[in-house]
Chains A and B, each alone.
Chain A
Amino acid sequence: MTDKTSAALKADQMFINFGPQHPSTHGVLRIALTVEGEVVVKAAPDVGYLHRGMEKLFEARTYSQALILTDRLDYISAMHNNLAYCLAVERLAGVQVPLRAEYLRVLTAELNRIASHLVFFGTFAVDMGAFTPFLYAFREREMILDLFEMLCGGRLLYSYVRVGGVSADLPAGWTEKCREFIAFFKPRLKDYDTLLSTNPIFKSRTDGVGLISAAQALSWGLSGPNLRASGPDYDVRKAEPYCVYDKLNFKVPVARTGSCWDRYYCRMLEMGQSAEIALQCLDALAAPELAPEIMTKGVPKMLKPAAGQAYAHVEASRGDLGFYAVSDGSLSPYRMHVRGPSFLNVAILQEILTGCKIADVVAILGSLDIVLGEVDR
């Protein structure tokens, strides 16, 4: 069908409820689609099915109790949520973090980024009709989850990063296991490329599909790989380095056209960079001047920051994740706002789905890699 559908062939408009229970919505997202034949003429994403009133819950908890709520925001990449929350609270309360803990934070954050992008890689391939990559992705992800389990007991919800540091130092044998994993993982990236990235069917489903211009991406507040696939070179790790990112050597992959394939490939390249960062952290942690010490130095369990407000953000797996914290001088946050990247990444759907084919809806949605726990909060 060409764009110039003749008047005689013009179909009636049809309304389709896409989701909220649908495997390719990756959670409970509903998109109200109006279609004309195969073409989407209007798309209205509808969210909130997973709304738990997180920001209200923060106000009824102490700062250390509230940490576990952050795990449940973007549950695919909980380490970044812990980190962003702790950075905001630390900035609010003026807490210093031991250098060793800073490296551990970066190390775990980057491993979690790999795990999160692997989930994207596997599920996006399934969305596009390729099942095999999923098995590879989850095999590798499992190794990272094992490492995290060894480190903090949790496989998905970690609460590992704490206000003032991290919950525990590396257990015996962890470093070797982690190095083993990275050595195993790095060559796998080439496998993924031959398996999926260059697959002609996959390319024709994603290359040139769901284009987002740089101006659109900026205006809609996209972040993370979704923004960088369109051209703007914005990564919080470089723009406002936190922890020890300014001491580490890594590149930020940027693409130009903003297609589904670009968004996909930005993530694939990021995984390689994350592995490099993890190695650098392991090297740094082995240095004698970073010998183990108490991981949360002198931070009271009942934290009582002086009245004021602070904002801190990190480059999470899905983009720019920020916490805006307000204290009134009491034991609980007076207000805690979460700037979830997925919330903004999903809002742009109403613009970019308009005019695309029905089959591309799944490709475009999948390429944005949203997590509804963070959208709905």
Chain B
Amino acid sequence: MPAEEIFLNLQASFAGLVKSEAQVKGYPTWTVPAQALRPVCDRLRTKFSFDYLDMVTAVDWPASAGAVTQVAASAPAAAPTAAGRDVFELVYLISALSSGIRVCLRCEIPRKEPSIHSLYGIYMAADWQEREVYDLFGINFEGHPNLKRVLTPETQQGHPLRKDYVHVPDSYD
């Protein structure tokens, strides 16, 4: 079943699922409402045999960051990124290895108290990748059984990949 048919099938059950303006080059990219992410992935896995979670990551799009505002001003009406929307964009790349179909799911969640459902249990690959996003962006994953820092030390202050991160000098600086 081609990606287009899967999309139409999912769209029938999940209102708000749309094709993204911001396409990841080379992959069908769909925007999923944050609360529908887990059910959509569950459906993709059980019904359409999307058995492999390739990648989980996030991008910080604050309302005003120097470089971003510059682009937002020059960008066309349908900006190919989420620049200037004051959101965290979560990016999931999910594959059905048997058919070779790969889709990219995007979710936008507010930067204030960011939280989204964990995919732990559907894909175990989400375990550490979500911990990494939590560590570096401070996004909470509801339902993750072991959500703690994975790359930075436990004493780390703040979340380094946020655009407004300020490094607090420690004894090594």
Closest to B55 in A: A339
A-B contact count (CB 8 A): 124
A32 adjacent to chain B (CB < 8 Å): no
**Assuming A326-B59, A329-B74, is B25 touching A92 (CB within 8 A)?**
yes
Interface residue tally of chain B, by bracket? 35 or more
Let me know if A239 and B97 touch, CB within 8 A: yes
Let me know if B80 and A306 touch, CB within 8 A: yes
Q: Which residues of A contact B67 (CB under 8 A)?
A: 328, 330, 334
User: Chain A 327-338, CB within 8 Å of chain B: the 1/0 string?
Assistant: 111100011010
A208 adjacent to chain B (CB < 8 Å): no
Closest Cβ–Cβ distance, residue B54 to chain A (whole Å): 7
Let me know if A329 and B71 touch, CB within 8 A: yes
Query: Considering the complex, which residues of chain B in the window 54-93 have a beta carbon less than 8 Å from any beta carbon of chain A?
Result: 54-55, 57, 59-60, 67-68, 70-71, 74-75, 79-81, 83, 91, 93
**Assuming A55-B136, A218-B51, A221-B125, is B160 touching A310 (CB within 8 A)?**
no
Let me know if B160 and A56 touch, CB within 8 A: yes
Let me know if A335 and B124 touch, CB within 8 A: no
Q: Which residues of A contact B53 (CB under 8 A)?
A: 221
Closest Cβ–Cβ distance, residue A49 to chain B (whole Å): 9
- Choose from B27, B123, B136 the contact partner of A221 (Cβ within 8 Å): B123
Interface-side segment among B9-17, B34-42, B109-117, B148-156:
B148-156
Closest Cβ–Cβ distance, residue B121 to chain A (whole Å): 10
- Choose from A216, A221, A330, A337 the contact partner of B71 (Cβ within 8 Å): A330
- Choose from A216, A327, A337 the contact partner of B57 (Cβ within 8 Å): A337
Q: Is the interface of A mostly helix, strand, loop or mixed?
A: mixed
**Assuming A311-B55, A320-B54, is B123 touching A328 (CB within 8 A)?**
no
**Assuming A221-B123, A307-B80, A310-B24, is B97 touching A48 (CB within 8 A)?**
no
A110 adjacent to chain B (CB < 8 Å): no
Closest Cβ–Cβ distance, residue B20 to chain A (whole Å): 10
Q: Which residues of B contact A329 (CB under 8 A)?
A: 71, 74-75
- Choose from A219, A220, A308, A322 the contact partner of B25 (Cβ within 8 Å): A308
Q: Which residues of A contact B151 (CB under 8 A)?
A: 47-48, 51, 376-377
Cα–Cα, bound, A56→B137 (Å): 11
Closest Cβ–Cβ distance, residue A84 to chain B (whole Å): 12
Number of residues from A at the complex interface, CB < 8 A: 44
A203 adjacent to chain B (CB < 8 Å): no
Q: Which residues of A contact B132 (CB under 8 A)?
A: 343
Q: Which residues of B contact A232 (CB under 8 A)?
A: 97
Closest Cβ–Cβ distance, residue A64 to chain B (whole Å): 18
Closest to A329 in B: B71
Closest to A376 in B: B151
Q: Which residues of A contact B102 (CB under 8 A)?
A: 240
B7 adjacent to chain A (CB < 8 Å): no
Let me know if B57 and A221 touch, CB within 8 A: no
**Assuming A219-B125, A221-B125, A239-B97, is B52 touching A309 (CB within 8 A)?**
no
Q: Which residues of B contact A313 (CB under 8 A)?
A: 54
Closest to A92 in B: B25
User: Chain B 123-152, CB within 8 Å of chain A: the 1/0 string?
Assistant: 111011100100010000000000001111
Query: Considering the complex, which residues of chain A in the window 303-356 have a beta carbon less than 8 Å from any beta carbon of chain B?
Result: 306-313, 320, 322, 324, 326-330, 334-335, 337, 339, 343-344, 347-348, 351
B2 adjacent to chain A (CB < 8 Å): no
Let me know if B128 and A343 touch, CB within 8 A: yes
Q: List 28 A-B contacts (CB under 8 A).
A: A47-B150, A47-B151, A48-B149, A48-B150, A48-B152, A51-B152, A56-B161, A216-B124, A219-B51, A220-B124, A220-B127, A221-B54, A221-B125, A307-B79, A307-B80, A308-B22, A308-B25, A309-B80, A311-B27, A324-B93, A326-B81, A337-B55, A339-B54, A343-B128, A344-B125, A344-B129, A347-B125, A376-B151
Give residues in A with beta carbon < 8 Å to B: 47-48, 51, 53, 55-56, 91-92, 216, 218-221, 232, 234, 239-240, 306-313, 320, 322, 324, 326-330, 334-335, 337, 339, 343-344, 347-348, 351, 376-377
Closest 5 CB pairs of A and B: A221-B125, A310-B25, A337-B57, A347-B128, A308-B80
